[in-house]
Amino acid sequence: MRILLTNDDGYNQPGLVVLENLLKHDHEIWVVAPLHHCSGTSHALGLYSSMELKEEGFRKWSLEGTPTDCVKIALMEVMKDNPPDLLISGINPGANLANNVFYSGTVAAATEAALWDISSIAISVQVTTSNRKPFFRTASSVLESLMEKGIAGKIPEGTILNINVPEVEPDEIAGMKWTKMARFATDISFRQLEPGRVFAYDRYRSVPVVDPRDSDVDAISRSMGSLTLLDSNRTSSAVPPDLELADGGI
């Protein structure tokens, strides 16, 4: 299988290297990933600056752009004659759960591939403190198990498989579960570095969710791997309000 790898942390970061080492023996691996750290950039594009594409090794490039830029340039330039069968974005150090899905460059890269009908996976591992190393080996084991089960060929067209892995050793994971995306009940708070003037996000503080049942947040809290199918088509399934709309004007 031809697999395109990317992330939002940088082409040489440990999570991406773990993915390469896991998959390179059985698959044809291509890497196009950001030159710099792009966490939290969501689906941003580098529209107002030039982007240098630099070859970093065999079938491996860095791009001075966002994760979405990386996927676009991979599909339209680098791999235009050899399109990927699958895109995997990650392994991100830090879970992408609930509202954070909308801000995630990791998930955005996978979403961009799904928009072009390429099977895509975003994979992240929970990190709750800044001084603890991410459990990349656990995430790698989860992905390896799913690949052995043929997950790459079972992802519905136009969707993204968002995988989140708990902060435990591989033999301590309590199973895998299909989940829904939770919604945080409150927003992440700010820390005041200089009162009233300099602020920073309080990244490692947990916040409650509106309804934890069957959610990604609940699964991770119980040391389970969370598998969530996200739709690249953002049209709501809600019934539109009853309005009289004219055909020839407003």
**pLDDT-above-90 percentage for the chain:** 81
Query: Residue 169's pLDDT is what?
Result: 96
Q: What is the DSSP code string of the chain?
A: -EEEEE-SS-TT-HHHHHHHHHHTTTSEEEEEEESS--TT-TT---TTS---EEEEETTEEEESS-HHHHHHHIIIIITTTS--SEEEEEEEES---GGGGGT-HHHHHHHHHHHTT-EEEEEEE---STTS---HHHHHHHHHHHHHTTGGGTSPTTEEEEEEE-SS-GGG---EEE-B---BSSPPPEEEEETTTEEEE-TT----BS--TTBHHHHHHTT-EEEEEEES-----SPPP-----SS--
pLDDT value of residue 204: 65
Residues present in the chain in total: 250
Q: What is the pLDDT of residues 13-46, one digit of tens each?
A: 999 999 999 999 999 999 999 999 999 899 999 9
pLDDT of the residue at 47: 93
The domain limits of the chain are 2-186+212-231
Residue type, 188: I
pLDDT digits 0-9 by tens, 76-113: 999 999 999 999 999 999 999 999 999 999 999 999 99
Mean per-residue pLDDT, 149-154: 96
pLDDT tens track for 106-148: 999 999 999 999 999 999 999 988 778 899 999 999 999 999 9
Domain 2-186+212-231 superfamily per CATH: Survival protein SurE-like phosphatase/nucleotidase (3.40.1210.10)
What is the chain's mean pLDDT, rounded? 93
Q: What is the pLDDT of residue 176?
A: 96
Q: For residue 229, what pLDDT is reported?
A: 98
Q: What does the pLDDT read at residue 168? A: 96
**Strand-pair category, 159-165 with 225-231:** antiparallel
Please state, in angstroms and rounded to a whole number, the distance separating the CA atoms of residues 29 and 87: 10
Q: Which residues pair with 60 in a beta bridge?
A: 31, 57
Residue recorded with tokens 């992905």: 143
pLDDT of 203 > 80? The answer is no
Global pTM value:
0.93
